[in-house]
Amino acid sequence: MHDRLILAIDQGTSGTKAIIFDTAGRIIARATSPLDCTFPRPGLVEQDPEGIYRNVIDAVRACVDRFRSAGGQVDRIACCGISNQRETFCIWDQNGRPLCNAVVWQCKRSVGICNRLRQPAIEQQVRQRTGLIIDPYFSATKIVWLLENDEHVRQAIEYKRAMFGTVDTWLLYRLTGGSRYLTDYTNASRTLLFNIDQLGWDQGLIDLFGLKGLVLPDVRPSACMFGESDIGSVLPQPIPITAMIGDSHAAAFGECCLGPGMAKATLGTGCSILLNTGHKRMNSRSGMVSTICWSTADRVDYALEGIIVSCGSTIQWLRDQLGLFQDSQQTESMACSVEDCGGVYLIPAFSGLGAPHWQMDLKGAVTGLTFGTNKAHIIRAALESIAYQIKDVIYAMEQDSGIQLQGLRADGGITNNRFVMQYIADLLGKEVVNMGIQDVSALGAALLAGLQMGLYKDLDQIAGLCVAKTTYKPGPERQRRSAMERYEGWLAQVRGLIGQAKECRR
C-alpha cells in the first residue's frame, strides 16, 4: 500500500487547492487555482457554479501536470477526497443547468428573513433539531430569499425541478456526469434543514421554511463510496471518490481530533474552534453551535463549534491602519520587548464579538492607556486578545459539555507566532500542538478517503501519522497565574464594554 497516493480537492471561497498526498500524509504535488466572487449589490455575494467546477478541474490538472513532470505515475493515485467551504450552495435543474449563481456563505441577503423567523418557538425548534441558530450564515434562509425573489427558482421549487446542493454535492454531480447526487453529514448539517440526531433531512423544518418542493441529495457519512470520476478527463481512468467533508471538519480530522476532549483551532482572519464531544451530541448554553465533527460508516463523532470574529484581522488592522509595524512577523519580538502590557487591553470587536459573548453590534476598544504606553504594549495586548478569546470559547465548551480539554491542535498563519502559542498554552493549562501543516483541510479529506479505501487499517494508524512539529507546554505556575490574572481583567473589560453598549441603546 505504500506506493498508493491520494488526491485531495479543497474547494474554498477564494480558490481551489489540489494536492496529491502519499499514505504518510506527505505532500507529493500541489497546485492552486484562484476563484473570484461577484457582488451584484451590497450584501449579496455570488459565484458562477460552472466557474467553480472549472476552477476545480484547472487546479487538479495543474497538480497532476506537476506530478507527471517530476516523474510521477498517475496510476498510483488510488482515490480522491473532497473538502469544501460548507455553507455556499448551488441550485440546478435536472439537466444539470444552474438556475442561479451559487450563493456564498458571506452573503447577507436573508437578514430580513432571519429577523422574521426569530421567534422563540421557531428558534427553539431549529436549535433542537439542527444544533444551529437562525442566521444568514447558514443556507436555508437564503434559499427562502431565492424562493421569494427569483421567479425562475420559485417555479422550479414548486414543480420539484430544483436540485439543491452545497458545493461538495455540485462537484460530485458534475464530476460523475450527473449520476451521483449525494452529500455528507457535515455539509448537510450546515443547511438548517438537517436533523443531526436522526442524521436525515427534517421534513418539519423543510415545511417550516416553505421548501417542501426542493429536491435534496441523499446523505452519507463523510467516509463513503460516493462515486467514480476521471476529474474532467484529467486522469487516464476514473478513480473512486471516497470522502466528502466540510473544510473545518476536515481540519479537525486532519489534526487528529479523534476522541472526546480533543479540539482544533484554525487561527486565520478569524478563528474556528471545534471540540470533539464523542458519540453524543452536546447542547450549548453559551452561544456555541452543536454539529457533527466527522463520520465513518460505523462511527459519528459530534462537536461543539465556536466562531471568533477577529484574530489575524486585528494584527492586520494594527499594521495597515495604525502603521505600528511593517511585517506581522515583527509582532512576536515587539511583544516580548516589554515585560507586560502595562495595563492595556484591546477588545477586538471590529465586527462585534462572537462566541461566547455574541455581541455583534459591539464596537472595539483599547483601554488602560497612559503616557507610559508605547506601541509594543498595544501590540502585546492585541496578541493576548487572541489567546483570551480562545480561552473564552474553550472554557464555555467545557462548561457546556462537561468534557475537559485534553489538548488543542492549532493551525493557520498565527501559529508561527510563538508568543501567542505559548500564551494560549499558559491560559489553557494544556499542551498546544502545531503540526506544521498549512493544508490541513485537504489532509483531513485525504486521510478519510484513504481510510474508506482501505489504505489505513484503522483510526489508530491515522493517529500515528499526526506528528507534532512544535509543542507548547504550559509554563511554570507563576507564569500561568499571571496569565489567568490578566484573563480575569479581560473578562472585566468585556463585561464593562457590553454594559456600556446596553446603556447607550436605552
**Per-residue pLDDT tens digits for 20-32:** 999 999 999 999 9
Is the model's pLDDT at 226 over the cut of 90? yes
CB contact at 8 A, 170 and 176: no
311, pLDDT greater than 90: no
| Mean local confidence (pLDDT), 327-337 | 95
On the question of pLDDT at 1 being above 60, the answer is: no
Residue 26 pLDDT: 93
Q: Among 43-47, 88-92, 193-197, 427-431, name the one with the lowest average pLDDT.
A: 43-47
Q: For the residues 432-452, what does the mean pLDDT come to?
A: 93
Which 8-state DSSP code applies to residue 93? -
Q: What is the pLDDT of residues 134-163, one digit of tens each?
A: 888 899 999 999 999 999 999 999 999 999
3-state SS, one letter per residue, for 332-385: HHHHHCCCCCCCCEEECCECEECCCCCECCCCCEEECCCCCCCHHHHHHHHHHH
Residue 394: burial class (beta carbons within 10 Å; 0-12, 13-18, 19+): buried
**Calpha distance 285→402 (Å, rounded):** 12
Q: pLDDT category, 230, cuts 50, 70, 90?
A: very high
Average pLDDT on 465-473 reads 87
Least reliable range by pLDDT among 102-106, 290-294, 418-422, 499-503:
499-503
Candidate from 288-297, 342-351, 495-504 with smallest mean pLDDT: 495-504
Statement: residue 505 has pLDDT above 80: no
pLDDT of residue 2: 63
In this prediction, residues 376-388 reach a mean pLDDT of 97
What percentage of the chain has pLDDT greater than the value 70?
A: 99
Residue 222 to residue 12: CA distance in whole angstroms: 18
Could you give the CA distance from residue 353 to residue 361 in angstroms, rounded to a whole number? Answer: 8
Distance CA 58, CA 388 (A): 41
- Segment 290-315 shows an average pLDDT of 93
Average pLDDT over residues 483-487: 96
Domain 5-248 has CATH 3.30.200.20: no
Asked whether the predicted pLDDT for residue 270 surpasses 90, the reply is: no
pLDDT score recorded for residue 432: 95
- Amino acid 275: pLDDT: 96
Tens digits of per-residue pLDDT, 249-262? 999 999 999 999 99
Does the CA dihedral 239-242-245-247 come out positive or negative?
negative
Average pLDDT taken over every residue of the chain: 93
- The per-residue pLDDT for range 271-293, each reduced to its tens digit, is 889 999 999 899 988 888 999 99
User: Residue 13's pLDDT band (boundaries 50, 70, 90)?
Assistant: confident
What are the structural domain ranges in the chain?
5-248
Q: What confidence score (pLDDT) does residue 49 get?
A: 96
The pTM for the full model equals: 0.90
Residue 490's pLDDT is what? 95
Strand intervals (E) in 23-174: 27-34, 46-47, 77-84, 89-92, 102-103, 163-166
pLDDT computed for residue 357 by the predictor: 84
Query: Is the pLDDT confidence value at 421 over 90?
Result: yes
C-alpha cell at 256: 487528529
Has residue 456 got a pLDDT over 80? yes
The pLDDT of residue 9 is 98
